[in-house]
Structure 1
Amino acid sequence: MTSSPDLRFPKSARVRTRADYACAFDAARRVHGAHFQLVFKTDPTPAPGAARLGLAVSRKVDKRAVQRNRIRRVLKEAFRAAHAQLGPGSYVFVAKPSARAVENAALRHDFLRLMQRAGALPSTSTQGTMQRPPTNDDSA
């Protein structure tokens, strides 16, 4: 069973070694969400596909490996889906204990919101649902 190249999570797209994590945490910016803390360090030299994901889901989040792995799988999938739009850099997600009790959709939503706040993804339109009344600018 082979998967398509877009759905893979290659080693080049991961923060893997202790030195990589240390580099990502040194002089990095932090953004807090409801279920995660995002520690990110952008790369000034843009290269296609240079976004890398690191995950830290400790036993403090949940003692059961099944739940920790579920959180990791959801984040990896969300990263794969958004990888083409991400700016270059290292993005490390540190899970909070509140992540164990929420559904996958809420985890994905928090992932996307944090990436938008970090500037890695374009923000969605924040306009409300009500339309503005027409203005009479044509009278000039």
Structure 2
Amino acid sequence: MGLPKINRLHRRDFQVVYQQGFSRHSSHLKLKALPARGNAGIEEGQQLPASQFGITISRKISKKAVARNRVKRQLRAALRQLLPQIPRGWKMIFVVKPRATECKYEHFLRELEQLLSQAEAIDGH
């Protein structure tokens, strides 16, 4: 099961995040994030839009689609678990580094928490 549709980053937004967002790194992942822009374009009484996420994994990571898809599924599952802690309005892209194919779900969950706290998207522990 993937991310809810409202939390998926649209194709046209990837370039905006790459150009305007900031980066954080861990051993297996790179985060490009663009925080909410205050109340720009939001009318009184409305909330910020839901946070949106994208995952990028190159063919350089693995030639086999099976391996790339397994990594994406594990990342999506970890993101779903952390979703309630992430405030609204963020746009984030997770870029997978080459050694990530050997990671398990728990490792991705720890790295995502670490990256999100470095980006100040969630409170650090």
TM-score bracket for this pair, using the shorter chain length: 0.7 to 0.9
Moved more, 35-44 or 106-115: 106-115
The number of residue pairs the alignment matches comes to 117
Secondary structure in 1 aligned to 2:107?
helix
Measure the CA separation in 1 of the matches of 2:97 and 2:15: 20
Measure the CA separation in 1 of the matches of 2:81 and 2:103: 20
Secondary structure in 2 aligned to 1:26?
helix
Render the CA deviation track for 1:60-100: whole Å, top value 9, x for unaligned.
11111111111111111111111121122111000000101
| Structure 1 residue runs of 4 or more that deviate by more than 6 Å after TM superposition | none
Partner of 1:105: 106
Partner of 2:72: 72
Measure the CA separation in 1 of the matches of 2:48 and 2:75: 21
Measure the CA separation in 1 of the matches of 2:65 and 2:122: 30
Q: How far has the Cα of 1:49 moved from its partner? A: 6.2
Partner of 1:12: 6
Q: How far has the Cα of 1:40 moved from its partner? A: 0.2
Partner of 1:34: 27
Measure the CA separation in 2 of the matches of 1:26 and 1:8: 26
Measure the CA separation in 1 of the matches of 2:2 and 2:67: 22
Please give the root-mean-square deviation of Cα atoms over the aligned residues, in Å: 1.8
Partner of 1:56: 56
Measure the CA separation in 2 of the matches of 1:78 and 1:101: 16
| TM-score scaled by length of structure 1 | 0.76
The residue identity in structure 2 corresponding to 1:26 is Q
| Percent identity for Structure 1 against Structure 2 | 26
**Gaps spanning 5+ residues in structure 1: where?**
1-6, 125-140
The residue identity in structure 2 corresponding to 1:34 is S
The answer to which structure, 1 or 2, has the higher relative contact order (CA under 8 A, 6+ apart) is: 2
Measure the CA separation in 2 of the matches of 1:89 and 1:40: 7
